[in-house]
Amino acid sequence: EVQLVQSGAEVKKAGESLKISCKASGYSFSTSWIGWVRQMPGRGLEWMAIVYPADSDTRYSPSFQGQVTISVDKAINTAYLQWSSLQASDTAIYYCIRWSQCAYWGQGALVTVSS
Amino acid sequence: QSVLTQPPSVSAAPGQKVTISCSGSSSNIGKNYVSWYQQLPGTAPKLLIYENNKRPSGIPDRFSGSKSGTSATLGITGLQTGDEADYFCGTWDSSLSAGPVFGGGTKLTVL
């Protein structure tokens, strides 16, 4: 069974850094895309970044290029999303997804950034 | 502005049928499989339909999917109050910044 288990909710201040994680199991980690999707309160789903662990092919949505960094640790089947300087507008739920012709979802992680 | 276009809301009475459309382009729906997701309030999206028209184990056959050209449709028959949720379509976009793309979501109200 595919499982994506994300790190917990975070409360941060504007300007702080943050790294959230997603541990995958139940499938071959290296040979599926894994990425992150943002959902702001009451809004739709926005793709942010995605990586193919086998060859480190990394893609960023133009809306998020330069704003976040995606990375993986193949040794522990874990993907990460990192911010160097959070803004209040980063307040949202962040979902980890495995993409293999469709998305398999983590449970989501609420990130709250206060100004 | 989402890459895939869905109606913001649809509604129907219990027991009735409803369809939700998803419109894209030749670089996304026109080239790749479409999937559909149900998001109940306060929960993560759940896969309903994959590869245009296939249902994962445990999804009732009241839910169906189809695709034609650059559009796709989700159908739900025998509506139940428990079907009230947001529904999203998704696919891969093969343009320059290739990646997964989603519709803006459709709120289903079961009257």
- pLDDT given for residue A23 in this prediction: 98
- Using DSSP, state whether A76 is helix, strand or coil: helix
CB within 8 Å: B44 and A95: yes
- Which of B33, B98, B105 is opposite residue A101, by nearest beta carbon? B33
- Which of B44, B97, B105 is opposite residue A105, by nearest beta carbon? B44
Angle, CA B93 vertex, CA A92 and CA B11 arms, to 5°: 60
CB within 8 Å: A105 and B46: yes
- pLDDT given for residue B98 in this prediction: 86
Is residue A7 within 8 A of residue A21, CB to CB? The reply is: yes
Output Rg (C-alpha) for chain B, integer angstroms.
13
Rounded percentage of chain A residues whose pLDDT exceeds 90: 95
**Which among B52, B44, B50, B55 has a CA at the least distance from the CA of B86?**
B44
Q: What is the pLDDT of residues A35-59, one digit of tens each?
A: 999 999 888 899 999 999 999 999 9
Distance between CA A65 and CA A59 in Å, rounded?
9
Q: What does the pLDDT profile of chain A (115 residues) look like in tens digits? A: 999 999 999 999 999 999 999 999 999 999 999 999 999 988 889 999 999 999 999 999 999 999 999 999 999 999 999 999 999 999 999 999 999 999 999 999 999 999 8
- pLDDT given for residue B1 in this prediction: 78
Distance between CA B71 and CA B24 in Å, rounded?
6
- Token couple for B80: 């139940």
Q: What is the pLDDT of residues B72-85, one digit of tens each?
A: 999 999 999 999 99
